Amino acid sequence: MTDDAATDLIEVLRNLREHARLLNELGVTHLAVDSSPPAPRASAAAPARAQVVDAPSEFPDADRQVAPPKPSIPPAASLFGDATPAEPALVKSNETLEQIWSDIGDCTRCGLCEGRTQVVNTHGNRQARLMFVGEAPGADEDLQGKPFVGRAGQLLTKMIEAMGMKRDEVIIGNVNRCRPPGNRQPTLEEAAICRPFLFREIASIQPDIIVVMGNTALRNLLEVREGITRARGKFQDFRGIKVMPTFHPAYLLRDPSKKRETWEDLKMVRDYLDHNPPKSKS
């Protein structure tokens, strides 16, 4: 086996493992396998039509955009011949954040516990309409026990204030709650272990909009393979909650030229909140 083939096989196995973890999080214990022989392929399949997505009505002068193609690796259910059903709307949870954090405890579920100072839980207004989700704590967050308090956090505060809001009006969290060594990206396994707690927090908070910042947050919340550069600037959906993908503040510190695009994304979020009443959280 060539090195390229081995690398491709490892990537496929990692994705299968991640999909299996997701199914386990959703409570799926059995999958029906279709044992019938596959239908013969057509000699010349018609090309798929791109779906056209209208820009939000608040922006009549915005260009119409073509939705990106679906991921090349299908969800786990479709691997077994079954169509993947649409995810149901997220039901309001009666759990408090304290109950979720108590369940997390002094977490030792993955290896990140070995190098952290403390677990960094979500922080902010529990009645917030707007939630920001990043990747994982950095050094400052690890020391202070709050998300986004370092240089990237200071920039995020300025971004929130530019939207006409205060930081204490929103709520902020991460996919992972422990700092990875050297601020590296969390592995698929580390993210898969930690993100169910984020999902539970979202069910408890019921924000109107979630802003996902960076590739790790995007891929772990929406289960997509496309990167943030292609996904940003278009409202997406997480079980009935609007999601706006945009660049991570830490990336903006490295490449300030992306601040203009990020501001365009945040203006869409601001205008949606301004033009739509808060949804019921009952």
Q: What is the pLDDT along the chain (282 residues), one digit of tens a residue?
A: 665 566 566 665 665 665 555 445 444 444 444 444 544 443 333 333 333 333 333 333 333 343 444 333 334 333 333 334 456 788 889 999 999 999 999 999 999 999 999 999 999 999 999 999 999 999 999 999 999 999 999 999 999 999 999 999 999 999 999 999 999 999 999 999 999 999 999 999 999 999 999 999 999 999 998 999 999 999 999 999 999 999 999 999 999 999 999 999 999 999 999 999 998 876
CATH of the domain at 257: 3.40.470.10
88-to-26, 236, 240, 241 alpha-carbon distances in Å: 11, 15, 8, 11
The pLDDT score that the predictor gives to residue 11 is 61
* Counted domains in the chain: 2
Q: Contact, 59 vs 268, CB < 8 A?
A: yes
- Count of Cβ atoms closer than 10 Å to residue 6 Cβ: 10
Q: Write down the pTM of the prediction.
A: 0.70
- Whether 210 and 241 share a structural domain: yes
- Whether 126 and 75 share a structural domain: no
Structural domain that includes position 142: 97-275
- Whether 219 and 259 share a structural domain: yes
Q: Contact, 143 vs 116, CB < 8 A?
A: no
Residue 230 within any structural domain of the chain: yes
Quick one: DSSP state of residue 74?
P
Residue 195 within any structural domain of the chain: yes
Residue 155 within any structural domain of the chain: yes
Residue 117 within any structural domain of the chain: yes
